[in-house]
Amino acid sequence: METMTIAFATVTARRDGSLADAAPLFAGATLGPVVVVTGPVRESDAALLAPIVAHTSLPVLVSVGADPEGLRAASATGWRTTPLEPEDELKTLWSQWAPERGTVGVD
């Protein structure tokens, strides 16, 4: 378990951070899946996140309180997007991408 944990990279949100700070963290690297869980994503936010897509094999953007226009803009740049509401099950959301990538579902 420890080896697996070390193999995964985690970027943790901070109240003083912004989406603009995220893209430079991925520059020069090609990674496995990148899952961003955030609040409402506006079109301007989608533009800030767009450069990350080229550095990941599976860009997933989960937006709590989603703005449909923002999610459309993010999808257009290559993100696999979904809104997340309080009643949603993460297992159901993740299963949208699991079969496509040949990955195992979440229990």
pLDDT of residue 30: 73
Q: Is residue 85 part of a domain?
A: yes
CATH no. for residue 107? 3.40.50
Question: SS3 sequence, the chain?
Answer: CHHHHHHCCCCCCCCCCCHHHCHHHHCCCCEEEEEEEECCCCHHHHHHHHHHHHHEEEEEEEEECCCHHHHHHHHHCCCEEEEECCCCCHHHHHCCCHHHHCCCCCC
Count the domains in the chain. 1
pLDDT of residue 2: 54
pLDDT tens for 40-84 read 999 999 999 999 898 888 898 989 887 899 999 999 999 999 888
* pLDDT band per the 50, 70, 90 thresholds, residue 1: very low
Look up tokens 């699991």; give the residue: 98
Q: Is residue 80 part of a domain?
A: yes
| Assessment of whether the complete model's pTM goes beyond 0.75 | no
Q: Is residue 20 part of a domain?
A: no
Q: Is residue 39 part of a domain?
A: yes
Q: Is the pLDDT of residue 31 over 60?
A: yes
Q: Is residue 41 part of a domain?
A: yes
Residue 44's domain comprises 29-107
